Amino acid sequence: MSKIKDIQFSMKTYEYEKPFHITGSIASYATNIEVKVMLENGVEGYGEASPSFRVNGEKPEMIMALESFAKEMLTGIDVAEYRKIFQVTDKLLATPSLKAATQYAVLDALSQEAGLEVYQLLGGATKQIETDKTVGIDTLENRVADAKKIFEAGFKTIKIKVGEDLKEDIQAMYEIYKVSKGAKYIVDANMGYTPKQAVEFANQVYQAGIDIAVFEQPVYMSDIDGLRFVRFNVPFPVAADESAKTKFDVLRLIKEEAVDYVNIKLMKSGVSDAISIVELVKSANMKLMIGCMGESSVGINQSVHFAFGTGAFDFCDLDSHLMLKEERFRGKFIQDGSKMIARK
Ligand SMILES: [Mg+2]
């Protein structure tokens, strides 16, 4: 096996096919940082950081400023000793997306050394997953048209963004349901509701005969009591996303019985904490989904391999690359409609 010789960062901007509107944020572009790890024997491993200011307080410039530090930190370590690299990069607390990209780039390099795919290094549990696709906040007509298009394209699970206007959101659920009967719904409020509004929303939807598979992050990230209140007052499973960044967050959510699901994102946790979170959540007999920020196919590839390797997820919400304009697909997996399939 081989040691790390150099690390290079490059900033890349991708335009969304359509401005992506969620509670409190409209994005036209995703600015990501590609991390290239170079080994002494010439092998190159790739990762991608997709920094989220809204969730993690990160900006792309913060990541770029750490390039020489990352090089200093990791040069000379053998990629086969990747737990050592996890320990060092676990200290990147202010830049979790960089932690993810660096850790994954190391695994990507190691996988080439070992003649395996990254998902096999991570456990090789499954070779296929299926992603949902997301309907952003928009006019009622556009939300319904987007949902219809997604459903007709063969996506069995539709993710619906809510959280800015309770009445409009309930109306959107009624109308989307009419054009997508048989679909599963993940509804994500991105912290936009009060606990009482979240209960009101869920009860109205339930009374209309609509089932929600996962009701994601209804309330503010620090409102753990609010999450628990929603969990025990709505008929649907409740998930933590913004509330669940590190393994320590998840330990608290378990202790407080605040949620049914945890949404793991490598951009919040890195690979190392994501591994811990899988074990914690499974130990507590709760469920997992995996999501993304604004990753291109390079970054989504990381979560796809994590999902293949662990086989731990009831739902995969890995669609950012399907919403961004990219010159070419760069994932090390096969995208076939909603399905993501291992190459070997
Ligand atoms: Mg979410």
330-344 pLDDT, tens digit each? 999 999 999 999 999
153-175 pLDDT, tens digit each? 999 999 999 999 999 999 999 99
- What is the pLDDT averaged over residues 24-46? 98
* Statement: residue 118 has pLDDT above 90: yes
Ligand 1 centre from 166 Cα, in Å? 17
The confidence score (pLDDT) of residue 1 equals 81
204-215 pLDDT, tens digit each? 999 999 999 999
The confidence score (pLDDT) of residue 36 equals 98
Helices H / strands E in the chain, number of each: 14, 14
Ligand 1 centre from 188 Cα, in Å? 6
β-pair type (334-336, 315-316): unpaired
CA 187 from centre of chain: 15
State the span(s) of the chain assigned CATH 3.20.20.120.
Answer: 128-341
What is the average pLDDT value for the chain, to the nearest integer?
Answer: 98
For residue 26, count CB atoms less than 10 angstroms from its CB and return exposed for 0-12, middle for 13-18, buried for 19 or more.
exposed
82-98 pLDDT, tens digit each? 999 999 999 999 999 99
99 is catalytic: no
Can you give the pTM of this predicted structure?
0.98
- What is the pLDDT averaged over residues 193-211? 98
Separation CA 323–CA 256 (nearest Å): 36
238: confidence class by pLDDT, cuts 50, 70, 90? very high
Catalytic residue among 133, 245, 247, 265: 265
The secondary element (H helix, E strand) that includes residue 129 is: strand 128-130
Percent of the chain residues past pLDDT 70, beyond the cut: 100
- Which architecture does CATH list for 128-341? Alpha-Beta Barrel (3.20)
Ligand 1 centre from 128 Cα, in Å? 22
- What is the pLDDT averaged over residues 117-123? 98
Which token pair is 235? Answer: 């008929």
Ligand 1 centre from 55 Cα, in Å? 10
What is the third-level CATH fold of 4-116?
A: Enolase-like; domain 1 (3.30.390)
Q: Which residues surround ligand 1, an ion (CB under 5 A)?
A: 188, 216, 241
Write down the residue that tokens 């200011």 correspond to: 53
Ligand 1 centre from 194 Cα, in Å? 16
Ligand 1 centre from 216 Cα, in Å? 6
Separation CA 321–CA 200 (nearest Å): 33
The confidence score (pLDDT) of residue 18 equals 97
Percent of the chain residues past pLDDT 90, beyond the cut: 99
18 is catalytic: no
Measure Cα distances from 200 to 194, 203, 217, 241, 316 in Å.
10, 5, 15, 20, 27
Ligand 1 centre from 1 Cα, in Å? 38
State the span(s) of the chain assigned CATH 3.30.390.10.
Answer: 4-116
Ligand 1 centre from 303 Cα, in Å? 15
Catalytic residue among 161, 247, 268, 287: 161
**Contact indicator for 21, 161 with CB cutoff of 8 Å:** yes
Ligand 1 centre from 220 Cα, in Å? 12
